Amino acid sequence: MRILVVGGGGREHAIVWALKKSEKVKEIFCAPGNAGIAQLAECVPIAVNKFDELVQFAKDAAIDLVFIGPDDPLAEGIVDAFEAHNIPVYGPSKAAAEIEGSKIFMKNLLKKYNIPTAKYETFTDYESASAYLRQQEVPIVIKADGLAAGKGVTVAYSMEEAERALREAMVDKVFGEAGNQIVIEEFLEGQEMSILAFVDGETVRAMVPAQDHKPVFDNDKGPNTGGMGTYTPLPHIPQSIVEESIENIIIPTAKAMVSEGRPFRGVLFAGLMITKDGPKTIEFNARMGDPETQVVLPRLETELVDIVLASINGRLDQLDIVWSDEAAVCVIVASEGYPAAYPKGRVITGLDAAAAQGALVFHAGTADKDGSIVTNGGRVLGVVGRGRDIAEARNRAYEAVSVIHFDGMHNRTDIAAKALKGLQ
Ligand code: AMP
Ligand code: GLY
């Protein structure tokens, strides 16, 4: 088979790596890819939003299957664009991807089908949002409706902070159109958990759970990012809670999407908070997580390509998916300044030494410049250690990080620390 993967981050590097394990897969192309992906696949310089060019490339290169990584093109209908040309493609349609593209759509869906989530109100004008906000108590959560690269959510611990977040989204438009409508929602307290699931209509095959670390600095300080590190499994979260989340949240949501005439095919990703009243939904994403993918796929023993083909052919319900018992920890190595402005073009050393230790080094924002691998994004690398348990995997991830260098590199030092301490 010849496969085209669309995207160019750490998630797509892990997807390409997993697809490549199959003997069925003869060649992989990746648009646009990055310097790490280029070691496994042929990178094609087409941006993820250039649907016509991507479709043309898929035709010219006789691509058998397209796998879409990122959220933006899904929200804009990339799957519909390939399907219109009868090119097999894995990912949700534009209508189904709205579960991520509009938080208001998602919240209204969950309310209609009684699926557990935080209480909320939605607003389209600043005056009424602001009046409502002043009657609430802190902490409170302000969310831009549309996609904002993981940065459209403010958990405000003071009214001043909440008012500022509201003003920035609705008046200053720091997230552009994504802030035209906003959600003000109840603060949920508890442990976070991400469950990704392969979904085809009503069929749900959940992956192993993972936990992300969103704020940029240790002890969850600083602004939220796309994710600074992940780990799996979650030894401090009982399996019964994982099952409850799948039964009460993910399966009912897949069914609700079918009832709404928007059947979901692809990876549905539930961001959950385990509250004292049980698991509740924080968000849904219509794609694999980044960097959840980097720890989840290394535990996948069934071939990824078989799962994708089964989904596309409506046979996902006949497939048993097997996961290893090993642990995996991913530490994101970022550029100084991220998630605000950051420099690019800094030479990265130690990648081979890290790989020689057995770590998986997934590239997120890298480029090849005159034969050197240089930084080219906010999140630069996802360094994954694997082991019999979290402690071993974590040590291996941090040992590998310690041999990698570029000027101004930054990583959190407490990824998976909560799991080790068994802390709430
Ligand atoms: P999101 O982009 O919706 O995943 O939100 C980013 C982060 O904000 C989440 O991972 C949570 O840590 C936090 N968050 C979002 N909604 C809530 C909520 N209702 N209560 C507490 N924390 C939240
Ligand atoms: N790591 C969170 C996300 O992919 O949205």
pLDDT, position 224: 86
| Rounded percentage of the chain residues whose pLDDT exceeds 90 | 90
Say how many Å lie between the CA of residue 7 and the centre of ligand 2: 14
For residue 22, the SS3 value is coil
Nearest to 186 by CA among 286, 281, 284: 281
What stretch of H or E contains 350?
none
Measured distance CA(345)–CA(173) in Å, rounded: 30
Q: What's the number of CA atoms in the CB half-sphere (13 Å) around residue 78?
A: 29
Say how many Å lie between the CA of residue 107 and the centre of ligand 2: 18
pLDDT, position 232: 98
| Angle formed by the axes of helices 159-170 and 126-134, nearest 10° | 170
**Residue 129 and residue 301 in contact, taking contact as beta carbons nearer than 8 Å:** no
Give me the mean pLDDT over the 157-171 stretch.
Answer: 93
Rounded to 5°, angle at Cα 227 from 341 and 392: 130
The answer, yes or no, to whether residue 180 has pLDDT greater than 60, is yes
User: Comparing 142-151, 200-209, 335-344, 391-400, which segment has the lowest mean pLDDT?
Assistant: 142-151
Residue 101 sits at φ, ψ, to 5 deg, of -70, -25
Say how many Å lie between the CA of residue 72 and the centre of ligand 2: 13
**Residue 382 and residue 330 in contact, taking contact as beta carbons nearer than 8 Å:** yes
Measured distance CA(211)–CA(386) in Å, rounded: 15
Residue 116's contacts (CB-CB under 8 Å, 6 or more residues apart) are 110, 248, 249, 277, 278, 279, 280, 281
Q: Evaluate: CB of 100 within 6 angstroms of ligand 2.
A: no
Give me the mean pLDDT over the 3-9 stretch.
Answer: 98
**Residue 198 and residue 181 in contact, taking contact as beta carbons nearer than 8 Å:** no
Say how many Å lie between the CA of residue 122 and the centre of ligand 1: 16
CA 213 from centroid of its chain's CA atoms: 12
> 283 has which bridge partners?
271
DSSP code of 282?
E
Pairing between strand 211-212 and 89-90? unpaired
Tokens of 400: 């590998």
pLDDT, position 150: 62
Give me the mean pLDDT over the 218-227 stretch.
Answer: 92
Q: Alpha helices, DSSP H only, in 84-194?
A: 94-101, 103-112, 126-134, 159-170
Q: Evaluate: CB of 155 within 6 angstroms of ligand 1.
A: yes
Say how many Å lie between the CA of residue 155 and the centre of ligand 1: 7
More confident residue, 143 or 257: 257
The answer, yes or no, to whether residue 64 has pLDDT greater than 50, is yes
Ligand nearest to the CA of 188: 1
Taking only the tens place, the pLDDT of each residue in 359-400 is 999 999 999 999 999 999 999 999 999 999 999 999 999 999
**Residue 209 and residue 195 in contact, taking contact as beta carbons nearer than 8 Å:** yes
Q: Give the number of the atom of ligand 1 that is nearest the alpha carbon of residue 186.
A: 19
Measured distance CA(12)–CA(52) in Å, rounded: 21
Measured distance CA(204)–CA(257) in Å, rounded: 12
Residue 281 sits at φ, ψ, to 5 deg, of -80, 130
**Residue 187 and residue 143 in contact, taking contact as beta carbons nearer than 8 Å:** no
The answer, yes or no, to whether residue 260 has pLDDT greater than 90, is yes
| Rounded percentage of the chain residues whose pLDDT exceeds 70 | 99
Measured distance CA(51)–CA(30) in Å, rounded: 14
Q: Evaluate: CB of 71 within 6 angstroms of ligand 2.
A: no
The answer, yes or no, to whether residue 341 has pLDDT greater than 70, is yes
DSSP code of 413?
S
The answer, yes or no, to whether residue 112 has pLDDT greater than 70, is yes
Q: Evaluate: CB of 12 within 6 angstroms of ligand 2.
A: no
Measured distance CA(158)–CA(168) in Å, rounded: 16
Measured distance CA(97)–CA(186) in Å, rounded: 24
Q: Alpha helices, DSSP H only, in 145-234?
A: 159-170
More confident residue, 32 or 152: 32
Q: Walk me through the domains of the chain, giving residue ranges and CATH numbers.
A: 2-91 (3.40.50.20), 125-180 (3.30.1490.20), 191-318 (3.30.470.20), 327-423 (3.90.600.10)
Q: Evaluate: CB of 378 within 6 angstroms of ligand 2.
A: no
Q: Give the number of the atom of ligand 2 that is nearest the alpha carbon of residue 212.
A: 1
Say how many Å lie between the CA of residue 66 and the centre of ligand 1: 31
pLDDT, position 171: 86
Predicted confidence band at 16 (pLDDT cuts at 50, 70, 90)?
Answer: very high
Q: Evaluate: CB of 285 within 6 angstroms of ligand 2.
A: yes
Say how many Å lie between the CA of residue 208 and the centre of ligand 2: 15
Tokens of 161: 């902070």
Predicted confidence band at 424 (pLDDT cuts at 50, 70, 90)?
Answer: very low
Q: Evaluate: CB of 281 within 6 angstroms of ligand 2.
A: no
The answer, yes or no, to whether residue 153 has pLDDT greater than 90, is no
Ligand nearest to the CA of 229: 2
Output the residue whose Cα is nearest ligand 2's atom 5.
289
Predicted confidence band at 423 (pLDDT cuts at 50, 70, 90)?
Answer: low
Output the residue whose Cα is nearest ligand 1's atom 6.
153
Our mutation pick for probing the ligand 2 site, out of 151, 194, 216, counting the most ligand atoms within 8 A of Cβ, is 194
Q: Evaluate: CB of 9 within 6 angstroms of ligand 2.
A: no
pLDDT, position 149: 66
Task: Using CA atoms of 174, 271, 47, 201 in order, give the dihedral in degrees to the nearest 10.
Answer: -130
Q: Give the number of the atom of ligand 1 that is nearest the alpha carbon of residue 185.
A: 19
Residue type, 37: I
Residue type, 191: Q
